[in-house]
Chain A
Amino acid sequence: DIQMTQSPSSLSASVGDRVTITCRASQDVSTWLAWYQHKPGKAPKLLISDVSTLQTGVPSRFSGRGSGTDFTLTISSLQPEDFATYFCQQAVSFPWTFGQGTKVEIK
């Protein structure tokens, strides 16, 4: 199975901060990489597919980049509603696997 490792596992930031989360795959996943946002008790939300394709309705402060094994999710200016857990997911090969998540907390 492809292992997905996110860093950091958690971070504290203030409203307005620029935040970058890294996702590293144990092998090349090409562009088969998605990012999700998850708030407690809520359904996870797909933010980005294919490394950098923003889903409809997702604010432009979210962006994704990378290729191969190294990927990043950036929030350019953190907003109060962005405090949540973010996780990456690969689908280049079965079984599809997820990162362990990065919890973004209020500083």
Chain B
Amino acid sequence: QVQLQESGPGLVKPSETLSLTCTVSGVSISNYYWSWIRQPPGKRLEWIGYFSYSGSTKYNPSLKSRVTFSVDTSNNQLSLNLTSVTAADTAVYYCARESRGGYNWDYWGQGTLVTVSS
């Protein structure tokens, strides 16, 4: 059974770096593409970008200059770093597995709320 679980600080100060981890179980992260997606309160979902173990990445241009993805295959974990955060980065952050057909996500984590505030 494939499961994804996001974790990280629930509160980040403005101008600091938001760092989240997604722990994946039931499947090797090496075999799929993965995305980070977020949803600010009261707003629609926003795709942050995708990446693969092989190094293929694609970022949303609106966030590209501040986002970094990484993978830890030994722990089957994915990571997201978002630098220079502001209140606009307050959101529920999801990690998700891209389906074999591509371009959509067949497994998601439950999401983790990150609030940017001093």
Contact = CB atoms under 8 A, between A and B. Distances in A.
Interface of A: 32, 34, 41-46, 49-50, 55, 87, 89, 91, 94-101
A43 B103 contact: no
A55 B103 contact: no
Nearest to B102: A91
B11 to A, nearest CB: 19
Interface in B101-118: 101-111
SS of B interface (majority): loop
B58 A94 contact: yes
17 contacts: A32-B103, A42-B110, A43-B94, A44-B94, A44-B108, A46-B99, A49-B104, A50-B101, A55-B106, A89-B45, A94-B58, A95-B47, A95-B60, A96-B47, A96-B103, A98-B44, A98-B45
A43 B111 contact: yes
A50 B106 CA distance: 13
Interface of B: 4, 43-47, 58, 60-62, 94, 96, 99, 101-111
A-B pairs, top 4 by smallest CB distance, nearest first, are A91-B103, A43-B108, A34-B104, A98-B45
